[in-house]
């Protein structure tokens, strides 16, 4: 009962921690810039803006499926990483004529790889960002206070948005029939910023990159749980996952300090010692059941030759040299061994003859032991 009570307390503490983590979440905030959020850093107004301009607007949910060719898709700060296959599908969408607006503060590894997006790795003050001549009618846009600038290494990457220090925070690149627009500051397209300076005009210019009436979609699939999120590494990066990990560590250390067992003790069954005779009998039964006469004959001959080699001081290998030396050093022993092995081969079909041949080989291999046995009788 005491152990069950401890597990109930641990379960209750886990539920309490999860509830506190859920309540403590800033529900009026959308750091991933979700199109389902009306917060200042959400992007729900983007879908309404698209519909007002005659574009069918929808969300990519359930499974990752980009819009049809010549459509337009927005990707805002993925919280679930793209797989290589999903990034490849996004690249194919652009190649076939689609327009992808990829806006993320820190980027996604796979999307950065397929679209050759390079980032500086350090933050820089932004605030008001200066637009280039590529964005028609856009002079300045309002964004976040700090931003991680982009590195432009490809001549096809045309910057259109810079910080006050001239660092690139937005560029567009044509890829075959389509185009990708990369933004290092997604806030310039969020709800609370569209009415500031020329942000609304910038969004209108982006919609102008797609054909009239083209479908517009916002990727919400990578703002929720995907199959790649069910890995231990992904769980530990969340606040509730880290809290559960600390709870498990605390329970483990508590039980360890109290000297409590983590389960019932299972005694190891005692091993019954077996004699050499039992092992020999077991091997003999195994060979007999498998009708392994050839194996038995080979084992007997090899064991006898090994014993003779040890007694005479001759190397067993190579075998031909062993026999030549044995005929020179102990011709009588060599003759007995050769005759015994020949009789062993001739008696392979008769068990009684096989036993007689085996006894003869044993006498050759251990003559002293047999003489001692006879004298003791």
Check whether 89 has a pLDDT greater than 60: yes
- Whether 101 contacts 72, CB under 8 Å: yes
Higher pLDDT, 115 or 321: 115
- pLDDT per position as a tens digit, 24-38: 454 468 888 888 888
Which residue is it, tokens 């007999």? 288
Q: Please return the burial class of 196, using the count of CB atoms within 10 Å of its CB with bins 0-12, 13-18 and 19+.
A: middle
- pLDDT per position as a tens digit, 134-179: 677 788 899 888 999 999 999 999 999 998 888 999 999 999 999 9
Q: How far apart are CA 255 and CA 252, in angstroms?
A: 5
pLDDT at residue 340, rounded to an integer: 73
In this structure, of 50-54, 60-64, 112-116, the range with the lowest mean pLDDT score is 60-64
The predicted model gives 1-18 an average pLDDT of: 60
Check whether 114 has a pLDDT greater than 80: yes
pLDDT at residue 43, rounded to an integer: 92
Q: How far apart are CA 170 and CA 141, in angstroms?
A: 12
Higher pLDDT, 322 or 39: 39
pLDDT at residue 226, rounded to an integer: 45
- pLDDT per position as a tens digit, 251-293: 778 777 776 666 677 777 777 777 767 776 776 676 666 656 6
pLDDT at residue 314, rounded to an integer: 72
- Domains of the chain by range and CATH? 25-229 (3.40.50), 276-376 (no CATH)
Per-residue confidence band for 11, with pLDDT thresholds at 50, 70 and 90: low
Using alpha carbons, list the distances in angstroms from residue 178 to 2, 67, 132, 222, 233: 66, 13, 21, 22, 35
Check whether 227 has a pLDDT greater than 60: no
Per-residue confidence band for 51, with pLDDT thresholds at 50, 70 and 90: very high
For the chain, percent of residues with pLDDT exceeding 90: 33
Among 333, 272, 255, smallest CA distance to 3 is for 255
pLDDT at residue 116, rounded to an integer: 94
The predicted model gives 52-64 an average pLDDT of: 89
Joined together, the tokens standing for residue 359 give 């006894």
Per-residue confidence band for 229, with pLDDT thresholds at 50, 70 and 90: very low
- Whether 206 contacts 182, CB under 8 Å: no
Q: How far apart are CA 174 and CA 97, in angstroms?
A: 10
Check whether 21 has a pLDDT greater than 60: no
Q: How far apart are CA 302 and CA 279, in angstroms?
A: 19
The predicted model gives 86-108 an average pLDDT of: 94
Q: Name, in order, each residue with C-beta under 8 angstroms of 298's C-beta and a sequence gap of 6 or more.
A: none
């Amino acid at each position: 009962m005491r152990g069950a009570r401890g597990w109930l307390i641990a379960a209750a503490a886990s539920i309490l921690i999860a509830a506190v983590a859920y309540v403590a979440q800033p529900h009026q905030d959308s750091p991933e810039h979700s199109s389902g959020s009306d917060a200042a850093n959400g992007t729900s107004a983007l879908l309404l803006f698209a519909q007002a301009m005659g574009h069918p607007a929808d969300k990519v949910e359930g499974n990752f499926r980009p819009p049809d060719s010549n459509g337009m898709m927005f990707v805002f700060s993925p919280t679930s990483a793209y797989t290589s296959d999903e990034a490849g599908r996004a690249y194919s969408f652009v190649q076939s004529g689609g327009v992808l607006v990829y806006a993320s503060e820190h980027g996604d590894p796979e999307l950065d790889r397929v679209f050759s997006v390079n980032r500086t790795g350090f933050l820089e003050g932004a605030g008001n960002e200066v637009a280039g001549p590529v964005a028609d009618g856009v002079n300045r846009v309002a964004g976040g206070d700090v931003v991680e600038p982009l590195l432009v290494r490809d001549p096809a990457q045309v910057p259109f948005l810079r910080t006050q220090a001239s660092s690139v925070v937005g560029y567009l690149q044509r890829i075959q029939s389509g185009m990708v627009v990369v933004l290092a500051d997604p806030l310039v397209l969020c709800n609370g910023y569209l009415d500031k300076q020329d942000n609304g005009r910038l969004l209108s210019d982006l919609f102008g990159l797609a054909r009239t009436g083209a479908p517009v979609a916002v990727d919400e699939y990578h703002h929720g749980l995907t199959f790649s999120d069910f890995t231990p590494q992904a769980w530990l990066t969340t606040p509730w996952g880290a809290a559960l990990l600390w709870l498990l560590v605390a329970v483990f250390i508590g039980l360890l300090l109290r000297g409590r067992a983590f389960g019932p003790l299972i005694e190891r069954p005692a091993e019954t010692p077996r004699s050499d005779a039992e092992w020999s009998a077991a091997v003999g039964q195994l060979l007999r059941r498998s009708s392994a006469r050839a194996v038995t004959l080979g084992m007997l001959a090899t064991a006898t030759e090994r014993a003779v080699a040890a007694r005479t001081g001759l190397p067993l290998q190579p075998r031909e040299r062993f026999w030549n030396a044995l005929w020179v050093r102990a011709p009588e022993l060599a003759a007995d061994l050769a005759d015994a092995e020949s009789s062993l081969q001739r008696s392979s079909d008769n068990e009684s003859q096989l036993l007689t041949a085996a006894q003869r080989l044993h006498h050759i291999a251990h003559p002293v032991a047999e003489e001692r046995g006879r004298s003791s009788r």
